Amino acid sequence: MSATAEHLTERLATIEVPVCGMDCAECAAHVQQALAALPGVQTATVLLAAEKAVVRADPTRVTPLALRAAIEAAGYSVPVADTSAPPAAPAGAVARRVLTLFGLVFGAVVFLVVVGEWLGLLEAVTAGVPFWLGALLVLLAGWPVFVNVARAAARRQVIAHTLMSIGVIAALVVGEWATAAVVVFFMRIGDDVERFTAEQARRAVRQLGALAPQLARVEREGGETELPIAAVHPGEIVVVRPGEQIPVDGEVISGQATVNQAAITGEAMPVDVGPGVQVYAATIAQLGGLRVRALRIGSESTFGKVIQLVEQAEANRAAVQRLADRFAGWFLPVVLGVAVLTLLLRRDPLATAAVLVVACSCSFALATPVAMLAAIGNAARRGLLIKGGRYLEALARADVLLVDKTGTLTLGQPRIAHIVPCGGADEYEVLALAAAAERYSEHPLAEAVRVAAAERGISARAPEHFAAMPGEGVRAMVDGREIRVDSGRALPPDLALPPAVATLAATGATLLFVTQDGALRGVLAATDSERPAVARALAAVRQAGIDEIVMLTGDREHSAAPLAERLGVAYRAGLLPEDKIAIVRAYQARGHRVIMVGDGVNDAPALAQADVGVAMGLAGSAVALEAAHITLMRDDWTLLPEALRLARRTMGVVRLNLGFTVAYNLVGLSLAAAGFLSPVVAAAAQSLPDLGILANSARLLRAGAPPPSQV
């Protein structure tokens, strides 16, 4: 790099600007192009879900005022904070609400038109409506669409609605306002679905931000002061009391605690931490207190990076281009060329209008969304929530499956799976001693002990004395005798243990050693249960053509390896959220289409980055559900191969719809150009491909689940 280039790079600054009024990907593209065209802007990225633009620019040449002006020139706005009065809805938002209300009324009118066309009563339905009124309805209802088309045309772009807008104009020119109304109606349906999807993505970002720590207790001037996170400086000492959220990434300098790190690592088992151990913001000190030296704060913390990754995944993810856009790219020149040739060769304005009208059949708009809506509706009845047709398309083409472990492949709830008696005790006695010692403990493993005891009909005795030992276990006095349930660190190193203990340790189980007055009475092995039907579901996924399946987990190697071996999948252990999203991006960079399945906050960035993010519904966090593109509303792994099969069948129906639509329109173009179709007949002919597409797409409503033997 030259010295000049290095100097320019050093001068560049990152500027974030909030943007209001964006409802779809094309809106974000308009803003991005307007910002990128400014002198001094090196890169501009617009995040639809986060409602902001991230600009890399020379601050000496680009001012916030210039950025605001560019955004407003593109037709959008930058909100202005005003603490003196409650925020009012932007004018654009009010206008959209009015147009939405108007669209409901307009939709009812169009419904009557469509029914009238199908029944051959179109003229009777529309005869009582003056043409000027019908044309006004079409223009009002289609105004947002027409504005986007005009903006795209000003930038020499062709979008999905360009050809359809030309058809609307042609229909109005020849007096067919009803045909124009039907076309506009289906254009608006597509826009509303995309707007709804964008709002769901925004909600994911807001919910994730709400989980971030807001306050910290800091040691200053000989005392403790509670401060906002933004006021904490690296190097300061933060005090964390039992049950509190750790507010910063840092290093423990004193104290012992059991920390639930599920929000960051996804690890089911809380970890015991002490001096010298790294802890993360947004994790919870369940037992014990800590003094932590702050290293990374706010947006620089691991959890802060999770939020940034969810926002940025939208911009980094390879967009799945809508099939209608692809066809519009070549279909528009063909139609315009045929219309021009018709006018030049036949000198017949009516034939020219007929060409434009017949080429803009509603079937072109129906071909993809009707099939997608049928599939999405069918999926919803079967417990699959799919957030849009683009994810069905991506799912149908996926070839790599990445899966979180804790809470996804497993239940995320520790249970006592094995009991190894020692010193002449039996299993009943070992569990009774452990349940008594753990009676007042809040540790998740203590709950697993109590549940196991209750299942065997054991009533835990109340200890005369109880003490939790953060980082070790618990100690209690029961009937005058000391009972300890801990990690076994205090046991003599030369103590002979039953061979079964070493076998259980090798499987990744968490071992709890139960002693009475210093004598070992038994060992409990706690494991996280595998979800039912996981193995069968993964086999079905392989049968569907996805051969590469990798388990991603924040658990340690010894916990991950046994489960991966049982399921026959590859695995990566000890991962943080940024590691998971990096793995997703690495696969995408090699040309793969990736499915990511997860359930927790730590999975949210990878879910958003993947071509298709799938969240486990009942067990999943709210953030994971919002960041994902598909949600399994039941904790049923067999739904995943069902979704794969449905997606591939849907894309087959879409391809057939599009092929039929193109063929029908080409035949219609030829007949209209030859003078065999008048504009009125061309408009009436639009109902025939509509019926064919609706009938073909309706097959997806009847697509049932496969027999159990296939899953």
CA 211 from chain centre, in angstroms, equals: 17
CA 174 from chain centre, in angstroms, equals: 46
CA 352 from chain centre, in angstroms, equals: 46
Residue-wise over 245-270: b if at least 16 C-beta within 10 A, else e? bbbbbbebeebbbbbbbbbbbbbbbb
In angstroms, the CA 119 to CA 85 distance is 55
Say which amino acid occupies 653: V
CA atoms within 13 A on the CB side of 163: 27
The residue from 23, 191, 272, 404 that is catalytic is 404
In angstroms, the CA 224 to CA 237 distance is 10
CA 286 from chain centre, in angstroms, equals: 29
In angstroms, the CA 553 to CA 573 distance is 5
Say which amino acid occupies 377: G
In angstroms, the CA 547 to CA 539 distance is 10
User: Backbone phi, then psi, for 257, in 5-degree steps?
Assistant: -160, 155
Find out whether 617 and 633 touch, Cβ atoms under 8 Å. Answer: yes
Strands 41-47 and 13-18, by their bridges, are unpaired
Please indicate whether residue 579 is annotated as part of the active site. no
Taking alpha carbons only, the member of 67, 73, 90, 68 closest to residue 30 is 73
**E strands, 422-567, in order:** 465-469, 473-478, 481-486, 510-516, 519-530, 548-552
DSSP letter for 408, please: I
| Nearest-10 crossing angle of helices 143-154, 25-36 | 30
CA atoms within 13 A on the CB side of 529: 11
Taking alpha carbons only, the member of 38, 43, 35 closest to residue 14 is 43
Q: At 360, list the tokens.
A: 């803009």
In angstroms, the CA 658 to CA 367 distance is 6
Q: At 193, list the tokens.
A: 């679905």
DSSP three-state, residue 124: helix
- Run of H or E including 11: helix 3-11
Distances (CA, A) of 420 to 351, 424, 432, 436, 499: 89, 11, 13, 18, 10
DSSP 3-state percent helix, strand, coil across the chain (nearest 5): 50, 20, 30
Residue-wise over 211-234: b if at least 16 C-beta within 10 A, else e? bbbeebbbeeeeeeeebebeebee
CA 643 from chain centre, in angstroms, equals: 16
Find out whether 294 and 238 touch, Cβ atoms under 8 Å. Answer: yes
* Exposed / middle / buried, residue 702 (Cβ in 10 Å: 0-12, 13-18, 19+): exposed
In angstroms, the CA 285 to CA 265 distance is 15
Residues serving a catalytic function are: 404
